[in-house]
Amino acid sequence: MTTVSEKIDAKQVKALREATGAPMGDCLKALQEANGDQEAAVIVLRKRGMASAQKKAARVTNEGAVGSYVHAGGKIAVLLELNCESDFVAKTDDFQELLKDVAMHIAASDPRYVKPEDVTPEDMEREKDVYRAQAAATGKPAPVIEKIVEGKMAKFYEEVCLLEQPFIKDQAISIKELIAQKVGKLGENITVRRFARFKVGAPDWTVAQTKAVEAAE
């Protein structure tokens, strides 16, 4: 009787690694768990990456690097500080690739905050008031209105918070999941500390940093 492991060949493992960047051993295990289904294996790896990132989230990230990205013939530029636990990891190709990808994403998507927890109370309440008013105009009961507001706030966070935005090079994953994949591969916690985005001719620019940074400073 042929087992699932025997059905999975090196080409499948290699294809999954190229698609996700996960270690070969993890790709094999994911394919085994998914009975050889590539799409299901990708989901398995994404879930493991998030779980790994959550376990490491409390670790201090005092190392890292500052990267830059210039787009549109010098019309848009981004500076990004990405942190990790060791200088060794900060110098790896994987970390540098992540730094470039996230900076490129910021240039294209113009997020205003790093994560939902960083949204100011003023912005949060303003958005909620608008959504409540819109929902109330439909005549729906209060409990339903709050559910609608909750759903619209989730969409708002996806639009303005870097970590919640779909990655421009792969809309199937968020920036948070992209980082989690690297955490799983490199074995260290990785965090976005702050970024700045400049656009020629714009009346202002975007500067964002996590609340943890503000508290430390």
For 12-81, the three-class secondary structure string (H helix, E strand, C coil) is HHHHHHHHHCCCHHHHHHHHHHCCCCHHHHHHHHHHHHHHHHHHHCCCCCCEEEEEEEEEHHHCEEEEEE
Domain ranges, residue 127: 120-157
Q: Record the pTM.
A: 0.75
Report the run of H or E that residue 101 belongs to, with start and end: helix 93-109
Task: Tell me the C-alpha to C-alpha distance, in Å, between residue 87 and each of 54, 160, 162.
Answer: 21, 30, 24
- Mean pLDDT, the chain, whole residue set: 86
Specify whether 104 is located in the same domain as 172: yes
pLDDT for residue 21: 66
Specify whether 139 is located in the same domain as 165: no
Give CA angle at 150 (212, 116), nearest 5°: 15
Specify whether 185 is located in the same domain as 204: yes
Q: Quick one: average pLDDT of 151-162?
A: 93
| pLDDT score of 6 more than 60 | no
What span, in angstroms and rounded, lies between the C-alpha atoms of 159 and 128?
A: 15
What span, in angstroms and rounded, lies between the C-alpha atoms of 162 and 159?
A: 8
What span, in angstroms and rounded, lies between the C-alpha atoms of 206 and 193?
A: 14
Across 52-56, 79-83, 183-187, which has the greatest mean pLDDT? Answer: 79-83
Q: Residue 123 — pLDDT band, cuts 50, 70, 90?
A: very high
Specify whether 105 is located in the same domain as 131: no
- Check residues 93 and 136 and name the one with the higher pLDDT: 93
For residue 158, list its beta bridge partners.
none
Helices of type H across 112-209: 121-136, 142-160, 175-186
Q: Residue 216 — pLDDT band, cuts 50, 70, 90?
A: very low
pLDDT for residue 157: 93
Query: Is 46 exposed, middle or buried (CB count within 10 Å of its CB: 0-12, 13-18, 19+)?
Result: buried
| pLDDT score of 58 more than 80 | no
Give the three-class secondary structure for 197.
Answer: strand
Q: List the CATH number of the domain containing 105.
A: 3.30.479.20
Give the tokens for residue 204.
């202002």
Angle between helices 24-33 and 10-20 (to 10 degrees): 110
Specify whether 169 is located in the same domain as 104: yes
What span, in angstroms and rounded, lies between the C-alpha atoms of 195 and 81?
A: 6
What is the domain count for the chain? Answer: 3
What span, in angstroms and rounded, lies between the C-alpha atoms of 14 and 12?
A: 5
Q: What is the C-alpha radius of gyration for the chain, rounded to an integer number of angstroms?
A: 20
Q: How many Å separate Cα 48 from the centre of its chain?
A: 15
Specify whether 178 is located in the same domain as 207: yes
Specify whether 180 is located in the same domain as 139: no
